[in-house]
Structure 1
Amino acid sequence: MTARDPALHAIEELRANVAVPFERAQAMPKAVYVSPEFAAAEERHIFARDWLCAGRVDALKEPGDYLTMEIAGEPIIILRDRDGVLRGMSNVCRHRMSVLLEGRGRVRSIVCPYHAWTYNLDGSLRGAPAMTLNETFCKEAVALPPVRVADWHGWIMVTLNPDAPDIHARLKDVEALVGHLEMGRYSETFREEFRWATNWKVLAENFMESYHLPACHAGTIGGSCDLALMECPEGTEAFNYHWIVKNDTVPLALAHPSNTRLVGDERRITWLLAIYPALLITLTPGYFWYLALTPDGPGHVKVLFGGGMSAEWMADPDATAHLAAVKALLDDVQVEDKGCTEKVYRGLLARMSAPGPLSHLERPNFEFAQYIARMMPEA
């Protein structure tokens, strides 16, 4: 990047923005959200380098179960192989470079839709029609390039970076905060995908703060929030968080009566975890929901929206009804969030708009901006 590069200018603006004490913090510069060059820099330096979430491990229960995703322009397959091992690999054929699989499903092998080159579930090439006359072809030398995948407490985490720190080490402080809830024992019961007309960071910041709840969610959950009682503790370089102590209005948000492991407020605290860069988790003793974000240029974001219940609630005969009520509420909340975050992006494009000072309830947003600045290259 050169001194005239718009991305470099936006990075310099961002670094200046986060170099002040939090008590003087301002919202991130507009270019960080709307610049195509900055969006391209994020693809290279954040999404191609850090750990991302592909959903829940229990979405891939049987051998051959797979899902696909795209990371910084790279099509990726994540699947369960014949030995039950979770694997990640390139989703591009080694012949004429067609994308191999789409969406989700189950396969016995991976067959290219263009020329029927066929790969085993470990990525090795099983067969290639009409290749015997090519003297350079060696089946044993052909395989889909592997991609790092890890099971982090029931979450499928994936990275293109072979040098990324171990995910358990990186997120050890998350485990210290919510390990008592045993996220790995929760089961996913819904998984949806949608695309909104806003920048991915606007949606991420929206999740990170509860300051917007009374106004943006006036029709759903806003009335249950008392801003005077909210606190936003300092996060770490890998995530930020805050929490809410719930009453018994939503039974599914509390520990199930059969759960004897959790005691005191552990039975009623809802945790809101923002795992950088793009995994946003609401975790209660009874249920969870999450957003996993993928940028689609500066003006759109692809969203994976999923959720489910703890092991004890999954075994409850009334759990389905409880979850249906929670899911209906979440759907209404998502409609409100879509409206609010898309309005923010429209405002970011306005000539007369400018970033303003942050509330003490927006500390997570400031820490998120610091993370983004750290990930960007030096001039």
Structure 2
Amino acid sequence: MTQHDAALAIAELRANVAVPFERARAMPKSVYTSAAFAQAEERHIFAQEWLCAGRADALPAPGDYLTMVIAGEPVIILRDREGVLRGMSNVCRHRMSTLLEGRGNVRSIVCPYHAWTYNLDGSLRGAPAMARNEGFCKEEVKLPAIRVEDWQGWIMVTLNPEAPPVAKRLAGVDRLVGHLPMATYREVFREEFRWDTNWKVLAENFMESYHLPVCHAGTIGGSCDLNLMECPPGEEAFNYHWIVKNDSIPLALAHPSNRVLVGDQRRITWLLAIYPALLITLTPGYFWYLSLTPDGPGSVRVLFGGGMSADWCADPEAKRHLAALKALLDDVNVEDKGCVERVWKGLCAGLSSPGALSHLERPNYDFARYIASRMP
């Protein structure tokens, strides 16, 4: 596992995306299986880009917090006493213990090692038995801040102080689906799990709907027509495609009371892949998302959440519709898990090699070009 290994994988990827899409093939195996390439992604992508910590309404009250790890860096996201979202290091400034775990609510942040205590703005409130250290000044100690922005109801986080604002980077998303007010949708479930595959395999699985009729034959495969699917070229920060849905899933359609959406706007499902690792299925009635964190070449940690539009949330039958949707999505996840874990096994096989892409896999080609563009 050397820099030479990463350089070879990067060179293979650049050669792969140098051809026109009409002659494109799937990404080289080394891009998925190389531990050195995975480390390069951590440095040049995940430590530099905006990543999603979930929905802002998951932290409604002062002191509500969640934790995440970005490129090996433990991070706290919390709602402070003024209701502002803050990001900060999740490492104590004393002997460097991690501070909080999972999700919850706190009045202050107390280190579980020596009880150094921090306010919700990250400033040090108290440190027991430190009065005899002449070089210690409580007012000079503060948890390092990390950039956080609320974009359309999504908590976006970055370690990069120079990253452009999210709204600027993702202005194209607003132009594309601004008629669906994501900021008003409400999250109703949030789960985390780990799958045995490379994070890009799972991302690519989301990006293409070519697999729906086969992989999801028992669930959603019959709700769309591949002949009605469009996969246009993506933009610099994201790719997308859409599906015109039939009436088999009422929650996927605009609520009957909605008078804003017209024509096909009322039944189009949008699939947005926001680079590097936020994957959103957005319909007039509901949304669900995956936010991915790689854990080496062959494992990915997945944040899975979803919810409904404001008008569907207000519907008396919302709970019934949502229960049916959640059960369906759980079954879809089981199917996807099988698919992406089989792909990982195939990537590790000696006789496997990448094949040609369908016109329905245009987003995968754009994703490969994005990955290549971020490598040194």
The Cα shift of 1:227 comes to 2.4
Partner of 1:175: 174
* CA distance, structure 1, for counterparts of residue 248 and residue 353 of structure 2: 40
Once the two structures are superposed, the pairs formed by residues 144-223 of structure 1 within 5 Å of their partners are 144-223=143-222
| Percentage of matched positions with identical amino acids | 79
Shift of 1:225: 3.4
Q: Kindly report the root-mean-square deviation, in angstroms, between the aligned alpha carbons of the 2 structures.
A: 1.1
- 1:261-310 Cα shifts (integer Å, max 9, x gaps): 21221111111000000000000011000000000100000000000000
Determine the C-alpha separation between the residues in 2 that align with 1:247 and 1:345.
33
Structure 1 CA distance, aligned partners of 2:65 and 2:249? 34
Q: SS of 2:241's equivalent? A: strand
Structure 1 segment 11-22 matched on structure 2, within 5 A: 11-22=10-21
Match of 1:225 in 2: 224
Give the Cα–Cα distance (whole angstroms) in 1 for the partners of residues 346 and 262 of structure 2.
45
User: 2:365 matched to 1:366?
Assistant: yes
**Structure 1: which 5+ runs fail to align?**
none
Shift of 1:53: 0.2
Distance in 2 of aligned mates of 1:223 and 1:182: 27
Report SS of the residue matched to 1:8. Answer: helix
**Bigger shift: 262-271 or 368-377?**
262-271
Matched, 1:83 2:78: no
Greater shift, 83-92 or 220-229, is seen at: 220-229
1:234-273 deviation digits (Å, cap 9, x = unpaired): 1101000011112222111111122222122111111100
User: What secondary structure does 2:213 align onto?
Assistant: helix
Partner of 2:319: 320
Matches within 5 A, 1:293-312: 293-312=292-311
Tell me the secondary structure at the aligned position of residue 179 of structure 2.
helix
CA distance in 2, matches of 1:267, 1:235: 23
Map of 1:129-148 to 2, 5 A cutoff? 129-148=128-147
Q: 1:97-143 CA deviation, whole Å, 9 max, x = no partner?
A: 00000000000000000000000000000000000011111001000
Deviation at 1:217, TM superposition (A): 1.0
TM (norm. structure 2) is 0.99
Aligned-pair CA distance for 1:229? 2.7
Which structure 2 residues correspond to residues 64-103 of structure 1 after superposition, within 5 A? 64-103=63-102
Residue 190 of structure 1 aligns with an amino acid whose one-letter code is F
Match of 1:274 in 2: 273
Q: Distance in 1 between matches of 2:15 and 2:216?
A: 33
Q: Judge conservation of contact 2:223–2:248 (CA < 8 Å) in 1.
A: no
Query: Which is further off, 250-259 or 13-22?
Result: 250-259
Give every structure 1 segment of 4 or more consecutive aligned residues whose post-TM-superposition deviation is greater than 4 Å: none
What's the counterpart of residue 103 of structure 2? 104
Could you tell me how far apart the structure 2 residues matched to 1:357 and 1:262 are?
Answer: 38
Q: 2:224, 2:246 within 8 Å by CA — same for their partners in 1?
A: no
State the 1:349 CA deviation.
0.3
Letter in 2 for 1:289: W
